[in-house]
Structure 1
Amino acid sequence: MKWFTLSLALVAPSQAALRFGCSTISIQRLDPLVEPGRIPSAHVHQIVGGNAFAPDMPTGSKNNISTTATCTSCFFSEDFSNYWTAVLYFKARNGTYKRVPLVANSALEGSTDGMTIYYTQKDFNSNGNAKITAFPPGFRMTIGSPTVNNKAGVVNGLRYTCLQNINTRGAETAELPAKACPAGIMAIHHFPACWDGKNLDSPDHQSHMYSTTKVGTFVEAGPCPSSHPVRVPQLAYETIWDTTKFNDKSQWPADGSQPFVWSMGDKTGYATHGDYVFGWKGDALQKAMDSSCMFQACGNGKPLLSQSKDAINKCKVKSTVTEDTEGWLTALPGQM
């Protein structure tokens, strides 16, 4: 289904749906959620959002990172949250690796690379009318696992699209596409949308959440269970990797198998994962969820504040880990 065919004539009362771009603030081996304080972390991540991102980020309801961040790479200037995933690499026939560049999604204001972020309730045909509770200060979660090595262990919300053009949707797979994709590979992360209403995090960063997602698309998939009764926004990431620069089959493995590998060494695609640390300022996200605006139309004070392209792309985080993550490498960083 195509987001740009959405009708804005929605029946009141309704809840908002946000779709916006965030540029990359850093690409390095840090993971303050799963590996707090470890420098460097096990594998390379690409990070977007606020510049409070650091090797060790304070936890708890009194530590909203919006109070320490001074800029954000996201379209909505009140969103200082951090969003991150692993990094995709190309493995050439000679065994060397090259980081795959990122490109911005279509019809997004400002960002030149990074991710597309969604906070939705229902689907792309209606933004629904149920009460959506915004994530509270200090909230964190992950989806997926870097150690999954078979299809049986894949979460329903983790999928890939082999892009025929920048607006391709549908035909999602649980594994990395096996053929050259004309417009790159989109990695999609749909997080759970049911919260236990008590815990800001859990030891595995997932048990405080429950997913009703039955497929990889933006489709409402049933009510929240009594164990996790609070409906929160359906958070999702879309990340477009420009694999077109590596579509020369003479550089692919001699057996013709797909040549792309995640930064933790996974070639199947099953180990894709995403991390989230909430950082919206004040009650901005709740105000948006209580409104009837859709996507970027929620900016310019209606009801969210938004910022210019220059501000979006200027926000960066200084690298804590000094190593080459970008050139032609003989091994993946941290995966010797």
Structure 2
Amino acid sequence: MGEDFSAFKALAGGVAALLIVTMVAPEVTGGQFDPLRLTKKKGRTTDPAPTTTTTDTSLSGTTTTTTTSTTTNSFYTEETMVPSNFDINTELVSATVPGSAAPDVVGAFRFICNAGQLRYDDPIVFPGQPGKSHLHQFYGNTTADAYSTYASLRGAGDSTCMSPLNRSAYWMPAMLNGRGSVVRPDFVAIYYKRRPITDPKCSLTSGDPQAEGNCVPLPNGLKFVFGYNMLDPAKTPTGSLYFNCQGTGAVPGTYPDLVTAAKNCPTGAQIGAVIKAPDCWDGKNLDSPDHRSHVSYGSYGDWGYYKCPSTHPYVIPAFTLGAWYTVDDTLDRSGTWEAGKTVTWSLSSDTMAGMTPSKPGTTFHADWFGAWDNTVMSMWMDNCINKMLNCSGGNLGNGKQMKQYAGFTWLASPRLVPVP
């Protein structure tokens, strides 16, 4: 399921204008998809105020108006849905329905981001404690900070990930050039993939002895950290993280750190930091004390087929994030490095106070705090994922596409900014 992120440029165009998805009754254990999570949560005695939604259920433009509850579903834990506080039609344009992702067995939904704010904040690890973390480069919601919650992310902010239809926050350690500047990425490519809900491997009750788990959409309010474990460095990093290179003179590869990647990435090329988010969830917790244990990764183990662990039986759409940076002469390409002597690029987490400097890039990790508009997430789930389409550039697979925000650029401008 590897990706060549340079292909995003050719596929990121803008198109599409109306919306919305047919509502399907949920039955997670039976493999049915509940796109808007509108069934009542067991044990709830009061519901939030209902909302009225105008829904375009087909490409013909036929619309229906329905009043629905915004309570969560009864099958797994999540926060109550917070609808967008703007007309989502204004953030959609017309698009061609993409083709099948076959021979791949998963549907794909891709989009492009630019760099957002730089903050010494981490709303997952240090909630409500601004300035306590190493310097982070944020993508997505422009209001994300130490105080962010699911409700605050859903309620405010533009997005550097195409549109405020995706108010999720994504962040990772800032890239530093060792000379007092932050290197901002030119662009960030993100893609979600998962098997279609109709695939027998998407349900533990389907009868398929090699089922991966029970496939579900991303629950409202889910958040996690993945990659190098800053809280327990002795643990093996998660997420198949690596560095790559593309462009004139580049030698692509899956390099374990910036020092190794730099030898194969000449000035003018782009070096990429690539990491995969978890694809399995316990179905109970939206966070955990270590911010990792509630999610996990599937594996082949000694049973010979890919599946989620029994402790995390829910299969969620997993995203891969790739941040791409233009290389200049400040990146040491000698292939050698010595702590305290070699001045080159590094991640902000590589040189945290009180820690022995790590080999540049080895502390690569990322965080995610979900805050998608449920209606739009239902679109790409119902079409790109569940119809196994090959969706790029925010194409929702239904003749609609998310707008790219007006400030988008393929090359960072400015590329270097002072370390705050």
What TM-score does the superposition give when structure 1 sets the normalisation length? Answer: 0.72
Question: CA offsets, 1:145-198, max 9 Å, x none?
Answer: 236767x7332521111x141897962122223344121321111111001111
Query: Is 1:69 aligned to residue 156 of structure 2?
Result: yes
Of residues 165, 186, 190, the one that matches 1:78 is 165
Of residues 11, 24, 33, the one that matches 2:124 is 33
Q: Which residue of 2 aligns with 1:287?
A: 379
1:246-257 to 2 correspondence within 5 Å?
A: 246-247=330-331
Is the CA contact (8 Å cut-off) linking 1:121 and 1:128 kept in structure 2? no
Secondary structure of residue in 2 paired with 1:290:
helix
Distance change >3 Å, CA 312–CA 248, structure 1 → 2: closer
Identity %: 23
Question: CA offsets, 1:216-270, max 9 Å, x none?
Answer: xxxxx811122111110111110112232424769x9799967222112143422
Q: Which residue of 2 aligns with 1:117?
A: 190
In the alignment, structure 1 segments of 5+ residues that lack a partner are 105-114, 215-220, 314-324
Distance 1:172 1:34 in 2: 28
Q: Which residue of 2 aligns with 1:273?
A: 365
Q: Which residue of 2 aligns with 1:263?
A: 348
Report the number of matched residues: 288
Distance 1:303 1:166 in 2: 35
1:136-285 to 2 correspondence within 5 Å?
A: 136-144=219-227, 145-146=229-230, 153-161=236-244, 163-165=245-247, 171-178=253-260, 179-180=262-263, 181-182=265-266, 183-212=269-298, 222-247=306-331, 259-264=344-349, 265=351, 266-285=358-377
Of residues 119, 133, 147, the one that matches 1:42 is 133
Distance 1:97 1:75 in 2: 30
Higher alpha-carbon Rg: 2
Secondary structure of residue in 2 paired with 1:246:
coil
Question: CA offsets, 1:19-39, max 9 Å, x none?
Answer: 111122201211111111112
Q: Which residue of 2 aligns with 1:103?
A: 186
Is the CA contact (8 Å cut-off) linking 1:2 and 1:169 kept in structure 2? no
Secondary structure of residue in 2 paired with 1:24:
coil
Distance 1:76 1:169 in 2: 33
Of structures 1 and 2, the one scoring higher in RCO (CA 8 A, sep 6+) is 1
Distance 2:197 2:186 in 1: 27
1:77 Cα deviation after fit: 4.5
Distance 2:103 2:338 in 1: 58
Is the CA contact (8 Å cut-off) linking 1:14 and 1:127 kept in structure 2? no
Distance 1:237 1:245 in 2: 25
Which letter does structure 2 place at the counterpart of 1:157?
S
Distance change >3 Å, CA 165–CA 213, structure 1 → 2: farther
What TM-score does the superposition give when structure 2 sets the normalisation length? Answer: 0.59
Aligned-pair Cα RMSD in Å: 3.8
